[in-house]
Structure 1
Amino acid sequence: MTDTDRRNDLLRYLQDARDALLWKLDGLSEYDVRRPLTPTGTNLLGLLKHVTGVELGYLSDTFGRAHGEPLPDFQDVYDHNADMFATADESRDSIIERYRRAWTHTDASVRELPLETVGTVPWWPKERNQLTLHHALVRVLSDTQRHAGQADILREGLDGAAGYLQDNDSLPPLEWEQYRARLEEIASRFKG
């Protein structure tokens, strides 16, 4: 496998995760994409905003490739999670477009630089703030897939929409209510 093959393989799986995240917003109201759906405030639009910053930070800033995109300021104690929610001034469309611009920019970085290129992560401690483009790409892919999984669960909880992509859910053809009832019956045997 060549460097180009490895790069294309990683970018393909990253794009799959990006597409899944975007699909999880389709058809939902502004309220549903913004509202906190877990005790820690996780929300669909916030996940998208977060992965935008992750991509730009690890695949652009780390390698000295200016992107010009506005990123959250984490200076205020109340904004330590500023990348995990959309402010009232940020539209869904602006966050989606920023994400698309980010991935266009970061894909260009990945295609133009050798995978062995060493970058410096500005927010890591100086004694261990260097990594290769390959490592940064794997890190971003892992983070994006993790958040796509969270989005899967959040979306299913909102309206039952489940699966990998809108036109490819990758789910077996089951009677889901019966399946869930069966699992509940098994689990209930272990109640304390």
Structure 2
Amino acid sequence: MSDITEEPPAVRPAPPSGTIAATGNSLLTDEGASPVTDQALVKQTLHRYLQKHRAALLAKLDGLAERQARWPVTPTGTNVLGLVKHVAAVQSEYFGRVFDRPLPDPPAWLDSDDDRDMYATLDETMADIVAFHHASAAHADATIEALDLDARGVVPWWAPEHRDVTLHRVLVHMAYETARHAGHADIVREMLDGLAGDGDGNLAEKTPEEWIEWRERLVSIAEQAGLREAGL
């Protein structure tokens, strides 16, 4: 998309999925109702945020054909299926190798350094990538359930002075990592066919026509700002 004036597809709000992705951040747990003194409750909160963002990311593949799922929307090649594959790979390492609980039967490409986690090859189907993501998530969940928040691990690819970590830190890191890439996938999907949001009520309620008017308003503001900057 090198031409910023190219018309985008019509906006289509994502429907509620019935999964944790559609429950909204405020409904994830009852933490906050009382002082947090229970590590199990803290772990539950972090885990459920991770699960929410996982579900949101995977939902961005719903309804896409193989070509659409792989289509690179940005100059750096960002694509929905690649984001799902990348998050699954990173998750398997942080909750696997870091705590000496390696993922059983990992794919051969997992140890490669040629960015094969950022896209699906022709030999891999969308179903293959989704299955790998599910396996990675199940393995991560088993690690989270088995260990305490203060369980120690080592991230060998981090700088030596920072590589000693706890499960607490890794949970925060992976919730952030997953949320970041779920956001990427949301925008990529919107550029592909207009599907936007997670169906959790956080997308403004507008008709397709109102979204067009909204974007035209922003385009007008941007153009006027550009003219002003140019002194015209």
Of 151-160 and 101-110, deviating more is 101-110
Could you give the per-residue CA deviations for residues 76-122 of structure 1, whole angstroms, max 9, x where no partner exists? xxx1x111001111111111011111111111111211111110112
Q: Identify which range, 175-184 or 131-140, moves more after superposition.
A: 175-184
Provide the rounded CA distance (Å) in 2 between the counterparts of 1:20 and 1:131.
Answer: 27
Q: In the alignment, residue 178 of structure 1 is paired with which amino acid?
A: E
For 2:102 and 2:112, the matched residues in 1 are separated by 19
For the residues of structure 1 that align with 2:159 and 2:50, how far apart are their CA atoms?
27
User: Alignment partner of 2:225: what SS?
Assistant: coil
Are residue 46 (structure 1) and residue 46 (structure 2) matched? no
Query: Contact (CA 8 Å) 2:189, 2:195: kept in 1 or not?
Result: yes
1:185 counterpart (206, 220, 230): 220
Of 111, 117, 128 in structure 2, the residue corresponding to residue 73 of structure 1 is: 111
Q: Give the corresponding residue for 1:123.
A: 157
Larger Rg: 2
Preserved CA contact (<8 Å) 2:93 2:102: no
The gaps in structure 2 that reach 5 residues or longer are 1-35
Q: Which has the higher contact order (CA 8 A, sep 6+)?
A: 2
- Percentage of matched positions with identical amino acids: 44
Query: What displacement does 1:16 show?
Result: 1.1
Matched, 1:87 2:125: no
The equivalent position to 2:174 in structure 1, one of 115, 118, 140, is 140
Structure 1: runs of 5 or more not aligned: none
Residue 190 of structure 2 aligns to a residue whose secondary structure is: helix
More helix by share: 1
CA distance in 2, matches of 1:183, 1:129: 44
1:170 to 199, 202, 210: 202
Shift of 1:66: 2.2
Show CA shifts across 1:39-64 (max 9, x none): 11111111011001111111111000
1:126 partner SS: coil
In the alignment, the residues of structure 2 paired with residue 127 and residue 173 of structure 1 have an alpha-carbon distance, to the nearest angstrom, of 48
Shift of 1:125: 3.6
State the alpha-carbon separation in 2 of the partners of residues 158 and 176 from structure 1: 16
Alignment partners' CA distance in 2, 1:178 and 1:149: 24
Report if aligned partners of 2:57, 2:185 keep a CA contact under 8 Å in 1.
yes
**Residue among 42, 50, 62 paired with 1:14:** 50
CA distance in 2, matches of 1:112, 1:183: 50
1:74 & 1:66 partners in 2: Cα distance?
A: 16
**Structure 1, 115-124 or 169-178: larger mean CA deviation:** 169-178
